[in-house]
Amino acid sequence: MTERYKRQEMMQGWNQGILSKSKVIVIGAGTTGNEVIKNLALLGVGLLGIVDKDIVEEVNLSRCVLFRQEDVGKPKAEIAAKRAKEMNPYGKSIPIPFDVVHNFGCLEYKSYDCVILTVDNLAARMWVNRYCWLNRVPLINTGIDGWIGNVAMMVPPFRSCIECAWTNKEYRRLGEEHSCSRIGLSPHDNKIPMVVTSAAVVGGIAAQEATKILLGLEQGSSAHNTHWFDGRAGAFLSWQQGPRTDCAHHYFLTKKSRDILFETSLDDDVGNVKQRIRLSLHCSLVEIKHDKEIVYSIMCRSCGYRHAVTPCLIGNFRRSLCPKCSELEVVPDEYTEELKEEFTLRSLFIPPNHLLNVCIEKDGSTRNAWIVTKN
């Protein structure tokens, strides 16, 4: 074993061998993500997955230890992975320049021992939270707002999830993006104040808590799972956030069956997949649904023009000028989670390693199951 980790190996309960075999995925390579990635690389975590679809901007350079002036315009995930490898050549870093909400299959999380969220996007927080819970993968959520920062640990199934701490305010904000007035427009750019010192504190706590989880030093449901600090006031609080019985996420899980019927290629037609299910289960009716809505047709709210379109996920839909009246009022007309038979799974933007819900009707009764998508 290299002398590199000698000092940390002196710590009680430390096992560098476990860390060197561990896999952690960091979602977000911005201000806090840089601090977390830097810490985990120096600690000797064996594999780091780094997810970010954005590019480096000059405004990042005062807050992101991994980025340089020459990196402006380059993918954040790739640059962060490169710098992590430079800091520790014994570890492996994988850049994942994807949209984590739409392009990263829910079963991908099973490949990791811990997930760390460093994004300020509510939709990303919600879906990553649900997928981690589904796969029973520990999740650490972080946030900063100027002088203030917080870190929360979720270890399913023993603790609360992200949505247990949400109020109606968070769901209203999510709903506004799909409202009649906002749908198809660019999301609100809600910039928040940030400073690297707050990110350093949050990133240090997050990496420390991740290390405890990886080494089996996490203390279970009785331990404090939420930390909050105010850097200006010099205040630091920790508490136990308990599960909420009416949590919307827990309801989401109760609707899901854990029966997996089979794996299917993304190049298969939805109609062929349905026929395969009918023949294997001798059922009369089959519906296959994504967990996100797909737009199949559009309409102009100004002149009433309607037209079928190449399908796209509603989260990626953007308004365009109406070809008939030239108004910027073209919005989704038909959009649904149901997958239409004439399309392939790939053409409906279903990611690989994802679960699709199947509703099966047989002998007057219905049940739900899953199929798994593969490249």
User: What is the number of structural domains in the chain?
Assistant: 2
pLDDT of residue 213: 94
Residue 75 and residue 217 in one domain: yes
Q: How confident is the model at residue 179 (pLDDT cuts 50, 70, 90)?
A: confident
Residues 231-247: what's their mean pLDDT? 90
Which among 219, 238, 253 is the end of a domain?
253
The neighbour count for residue 303, using CB atoms within 10 Å, is 12
Q: How far apart are CA 328 and CA 349, in angstroms?
A: 25
Least confident piece of the model among 11-15, 61-65, 185-189: 185-189
pLDDT of residue 130: 93
Least confident piece of the model among 81-90, 177-186, 209-218, 264-273: 177-186
Residues 87-112: what's their mean pLDDT? 96
pLDDT of residue 73: 97
CA proximity to 287, closest of 357, 211, 223: 357
Do the beta carbons of residue 266 and residue 189 sit within 8 Å?
A: no
Residue 109 and residue 217 in one domain: yes
Do the beta carbons of residue 140 and residue 154 sit within 8 Å?
A: yes
Which among 232, 253, 274 is the end of a domain?
253
Residue 208 and residue 311 in one domain: no
Residue 361 is part of a domain; what is its CATH number? 3.10.290
pLDDT reading at 257 higher than 80: no
More confident residue, 48 or 221: 48
CA distances 77 to 26, 70, 166, 189, 344, Å, are 10, 15, 29, 21, 30
Residue 289 and residue 244 in one domain: no
Q: How far apart are CA 304 and CA 62, in angstroms?
A: 49
Residue 260 and residue 226 in one domain: no
Residues 90-107: what's their mean pLDDT? 96
pLDDT of residue 175: 84
Q: How far apart are CA 329 and CA 309, in angstroms?
A: 15
Residues 59-63: what's their mean pLDDT? 96
Q: List the domain range (segments joined by +) for residue 355.
A: 256-374
Which among 218, 253, 288 is the end of a domain?
253
Residue 209 and residue 270 in one domain: no
pLDDT of residue 183: 80
Average model confidence (pLDDT) across the chain: 92
pTM, whole model, 2 decimals?
0.93
Do the beta carbons of residue 360 and residue 283 sit within 8 Å?
A: yes
- β-pair partners for 47: 23, 92
pLDDT of residue 189: 63
Q: How confident is the model at residue 25 (pLDDT cuts 50, 70, 90)?
A: very high
Helix, strand or coil for residue 116? strand
pLDDT of residue 243: 85
pLDDT of residue 75: 98
pLDDT of residue 222: 47
pLDDT reading at 221 higher than 70: no
How much of the chain exceeds pLDDT 90, in percent? 77
Residue 288 and residue 178 in one domain: no
Residues 153-174: what's their mean pLDDT? 88
For 344, the token pair is 């392939």
The neighbour count for residue 22, using CB atoms within 10 Å, is 23
More confident residue, 282 or 183: 282
pLDDT reading at 367 higher than 80: yes
Residue 195 and residue 278 in one domain: no
Do the beta carbons of residue 223 and residue 139 sit within 8 Å?
A: no
Residue 59 and residue 184 in one domain: yes
Q: How confident is the model at residue 223 (pLDDT cuts 50, 70, 90)?
A: low
pLDDT reading at 351 higher than 50: yes
Residue 193 is part of a domain; what is its CATH number? 3.40.50.720
Residue 13 and residue 96 in one domain: yes
pLDDT of residue 255: 53
Residue 226 and residue 240 in one domain: yes
Residue 60 CA to its chain's centroid (Å)? 22
More confident residue, 257 or 331: 331
Residue 26 and residue 125 in one domain: yes
pLDDT in tens, 121-143: 999 999 999 999 999 999 999 99
Q: How far apart are CA 176 and CA 349, in angstroms?
A: 23
